[in-house]
Chain A
Amino acid sequence: MFLSLKEIKKEKFRYGLIIGMIVLICYLIFILTSLAMGLAQENTDAIESWNAKSVVLDKDSNISLTQSLISKNEVKNTKLTSKEAYIGQASVVAKDAGKTKESAQFIGLDTNQFIAKKLKLTSGHNIKNDKQIVVDEKFQNDGYKLGSKIKFNSNDTKYTIVGFVKNAKLNVAPVVYGSLTTWKDLKNVKGDFVASAIVSKSSNYKAKNSQLKTYSTTTFINKLPGYSAQNSTFTFMIAFLMVISLIVIAVFLYILTIQKIQNYAVLRAQGIPAKTLVSATISQSVTLVISGLIIGIALTAVTAMALPAAVPMSFNVPILSAVSIGLVFTGLLGSLIPIKIILKVDPVSVIGG
């Protein structure tokens, strides 16, 4: 520690640049990871807020909520307990004169079932009739208020916003919760259909009809339109970014160590044990990476606060910690590569004739 800190103190500019570079790399990785996670989360927020374990869909729907329809006939032998709820999905464009149009996911609910009962409202109250809706906060951010009247698509029926919910997003679109009756109107289906799907909090719920199939929430989420493709794109992007950044950091630390060889040769000549030099090198690399990390994290936090709410960002602490540990680990690796050179440094080579 003595040697490494003294050197940083003396060579402030050089080490400042290196820390600066590590800060930028950490910042880049953190921001991109958080943005990717934020986007991924906007696909699944609503589903996750229901705490559901399984979803029952029409088996020919290709595990797509949009394609699934459940008829009265199919559920005539099926009982829904307090752990199950019908949902009716319809893609809508919501508008109110003078306000921005919102592409939204309409989810029709039965007010007596668990999803409707458990909605976490940030303001307002739950739906009490077919003309009332509860919407995601995105509407609030875009200027809609409690009491605002909304029309869907080209229909003339007006619905009143009676409550707002946080984190109600499905497939990156804000969710509008309403009644199943409204759903039937929006979806234009006749009275013999009951919903798009049954959502259950139990993982082994089975509907008693061969046309209906139970899928785990995970399977269901992975089949959300674009979700898997988006996620694998991001995963690869971030993985490549990580690997390349890590190599860059390792190379920098390697160069740094190589530049110390002459000093190390002198110290070796004086009998300073190789162990001391190795630990100086390692502690310095770790100090640099950790300083960079801390500043990078601080910068990320500031950015997160400054970014508008519309930019989805999610800070997944376990993943960001793993990234951080990865960075420290590479720092170590980068400084360990030249250890052999340190151990083999020949004092005579620098002494000169």
Chain B
Amino acid sequence: MTTLKLNNINKYYGEGSSRVHVLKNVNFTAKKGELNLVLGPSGSGKSTFLTIAGGLQTPSTGDVELEGKAVKSMSNKQRDAMRLNNIGFILQAYNLIPYLTVKEQFQLVNKVKKNNNLDESTFNKLLEKLGISDLINKYPGELSGGQNQRVAIARALYTQPDIVLADEPTAALDSERVAEVGKIFQTLAREQDTAVIVVTHDLRLIEFADNIYQIMDGQMTLNNEMKTA
């Protein structure tokens, strides 16, 4: 089932002579149960693509459909609700609130989304797998970059979203952790029937992906041959 669809997306930043064309006619579909990897170098438009896909910003032209509903036609409130209930965002930077401990980051979610979050034992297993069980009472400022990133992953998965959008989630992780995170995303797609979209320049994630896209200067192409290469 198609959960996320981008039709003919163009995105420009700036105006006049300083206008840059960041996304060029991007078409993209993500289905439940699949892990999609979008590979591209820095500055190629990955973050722009992901934030448009998640309804955080609007494309200059083209439409985004989430769960069959045009994002354009949603009210701000509906978009908030969609992000809270259906999407798990892992942003490239600043995912955690500096004055909340790891535990409190999740308590905050409980306060605004009361149902259908991970049950305690599944949650604890996830923390275990991510290797952050011991960090539960620490503040983000006391964690390393990689630990922060893993907490952010747990935070995004906590709400049991239908779609997970991750921006360079492995940037600060060593190979062992990359494999863990890759497996977590893969399991998430296959067992929880989640649509997972990961944008990255980390080739170590290729082996976990179902579909591989490449983005170059704002142009996106499906390139599943990379899996076997």
CB of A147 within 8 Å of the partner chain: no
Residue ID in chain B nearest A262 by CB atoms: B94
Do B85 and A271 have beta carbons less than 8 Å apart?
yes
Interchain CA distance A346-B91 in the complex, whole Å: 14
Q: In the complex, what's the smallest C-beta–C-beta distance from A343 to chain B, in angstroms?
A: 9
> Can you list 26 contacts pairing A with B, beta carbon distance less than 8 Å?
A2-B111, A3-B97, A3-B108, A6-B99, A9-B99, A10-B99, A266-B95, A269-B83, A269-B91, A270-B83, A271-B80, A271-B81, A272-B80, A272-B108, A273-B77, A273-B81, A273-B84, A346-B57, A347-B56, A348-B56, A350-B94, A351-B56, A352-B47, A353-B42, A353-B47, A353-B92
Additional 5 contacts, C-beta under 8 A, given A7-B99, A270-B89, A271-B83: A3-B100, A9-B99, A269-B56, A347-B56, A353-B43
A156 contacts B by Cβ under 8 Å: no
Whether a CB of chain A sits under 8 angstroms from the CB of B229 is no
User: Within B55-97, which residues are at the interface with A (CB < 8 Å)?
Assistant: 56-57, 76-77, 80-85, 87, 89, 91-97
Q: Which residues of A contact B139 (CB under 8 A)?
A: 10
Bound together, the chains give a CA A274 to CA B76 distance in angstroms of: 10
Quick one: CB contact mask for A250-284 with B, threshold 8 Å, 1 for yes? 00000000000011011111111110100000000
| Contact A273–B112 (Cβ < 8 Å) | yes
Q: How many residues of B contact A (CB 8 A)?
A: 37
Residues of A170-223 whose CB lies within 8 A of B: none
Contact B99 A351 (CB under 8 A): no
Interface pair B98/A263, CB less than 8 Å apart: yes
Alpha-carbon separation in the docked complex, A174 to B222 (Å): 96
Q: With contacts A6-B99, A10-B98, A276-B112 known, is A352 near B82, CB below 8 A?
A: no
**Which residues of chain A are within 8 angstroms of B87 by Cβ–Cβ distance?**
271
Task: Please determine whether B97 and A351 come into contact, CB atoms closer than 8 angstroms.
Answer: no
Q: Are A351 and B47 in contact (CB under 8 A)?
A: yes
Q: Are the C-beta atoms of A352 and B92 separated by less than 8 Å?
A: yes
Please indicate the chain B residues that have their CB under 8 angstroms from the CB of A346 in the complex: 57
Are the C-beta atoms of B92 and A351 separated by less than 8 Å? yes
User: In the complex, which residues of chain A have a beta carbon less than 8 angstroms from the beta carbon of B89?
Assistant: 269-270
Cα–Cα distance between A272 and B84 once the two chains are bound (Å): 6
Whether B47 pairs with A266 at a CB distance below 8 angstroms is no
Task: Tell me if B107 and A2 are in contact (CB < 8 A).
Answer: yes
Q: Does B51 contact A (CB under 8 A)?
A: yes
> Residue B99 contacts which of A11, A350, A353 (CB distance < 8 angstroms)?
A11
Q: A271-B84, A272-B84, A273-B84 are in contact. Are A263 and B111 (CB under 8 A)?
A: no
Binary flags per residue of A329-353, CB closer than 8 Å to B gives 1, else 0: 0000000000000000011101111
Known contacts A271-B82, A271-B84, A276-B112: A351-B167 contact under CB 8 Å: yes
Q: Which of B80, B81, B93, B97 contacts A352 (CB 8 A)?
A: B93
Knowing A348-B56, A348-B57, A353-B47, the reply to whether A274 touches B91 (Cβ < 8 A) is no
The listed residue (B56, B57, B92, B108) touching A2 by CB distance below 8 A is B108
Interface residues of A in 1-57 (CB under 8 A from B): 2-3, 6-7, 9-11
Residue of A nearest to B95 (CB): A266
Q: How far is the CB of A216 from chain B (nearest CB, A)?
A: 59
Residue B193 at the chain A interface, CB threshold 8 Å: no
Given A6-B99, A10-B139, are A351 and B91 also a contact pair (CB < 8 Å)? yes
Residues of B within 8 A of A272 (CB): 80, 84, 108, 112
Contact A266 B80 (CB under 8 A): no
* Least CB distance, A265 to chain B, in whole angstroms: 8
In the complex, B217 has a CB within 8 A of chain A:
no
Q: Return the chain A residue nearest B42 by Cβ.
A: A353
* CB of B51 to closest CB in A, whole Å: 5
Q: Which of A266, A270, A352 contacts B84 (CB 8 A)?
A: A270
B202 to chain A minimum Cβ distance, whole angstroms, is: 16
A266-B51 contact given A10-B139, A271-B84, A351-B92, CB 8 Å threshold: no
B210 is an interface residue with CB less than 8 A from chain A? no
**How far, in Å, is B154 (CB) from chain A's closest CB?**
13
Chain A residue nearest to B85 (CB atoms) is A271
Shortest beta-carbon distance, B59 to chain A, in Å?
12
- Which residues on A sit within 8 Å (CB–CB) of B111? 2, 276
Kindly report which residue of chain A lies nearest to residue B83, judged by CB atoms. Answer: A271
